[in-house]
Amino acid sequence: MKDLLKSLKDNATSRLNNPIIGAFVLSWMFLNINGVARFILESNQGKLDIIKSKSWGFTDDLLIPFSVSVGYLVILPILNTLYSFIHDNCIDQVRDRNSNKAQKDAFIRRKETVCAKIESTDEYVVKLKDKELELWAEQKLELIREIINLKGKYSKLLSDFELKSKEFRAENNKLSLSIVQLEHLNKRLSAQDSEQKDYIGRFANNLDKALNSLENRVVSNEKLDEIEKIRNEISDIRNKFYVWDDEIPF
């Protein structure tokens, strides 16, 4: 009998380990918590009376517990997954961020403390001064090289400027000489032009006088026409060379 009970107990335990059966039993006990508690607290005779008087219903004892167990088996894993996602992606990240920040701040403070301790030693001060002197010497050499480079550029620019100045002065002298030559040539041409105008003027005046004298002695109309034609040609010459008779009033 004991072996039979032990076998039944082991079988029931193995069945309850099944998620579906375990969820169904847990749901049924949760829905009938009052009856289960009373059954546990009753004596053996009371338990027998409860078992005898128990009436099983399809809805209350099967359908509703089964629905609750299905919801438990489906919804609870979803909630667990959602909780794991929130925990891993939000809570843990915030916790890790705060922890990393705290550790970083602690390391920074520790670094500042260590640096302050190191910088306060005489050896560090001496090394720092030596390094500053080396840096100053390098900067001085760089400055000297830059000055030499600038002097070379200045000398080249000055040489180019002097060369351009010489070329400019030579071109200026050439232009000045050309201007003087042009002025002399202009004066000479002006003198020649004045002489030519005087000559043409005298020649035209002499022709006018000769024509006047000839006109007084000629009576023929044909000759007078020729004389008038010659006068017109003389007038054209005067207009062309801007030679005017001084006796003409303006």
pLDDT tens track for 178-227: 888 888 887 877 777 777 677 777 776 767 776 676 666 654 556 666 66
> Residue 76 is encoded by which pair of tokens?
């609870």
Is pLDDT of 247 > 50? no
More confident residue, 163 or 247: 163
> pLDDT class for 168, splitting at 50, 70, 90?
confident
Average pLDDT over residues 140-153: 90
Mean of per-residue pLDDT scores for the chain: 74
pLDDT at 249: 38
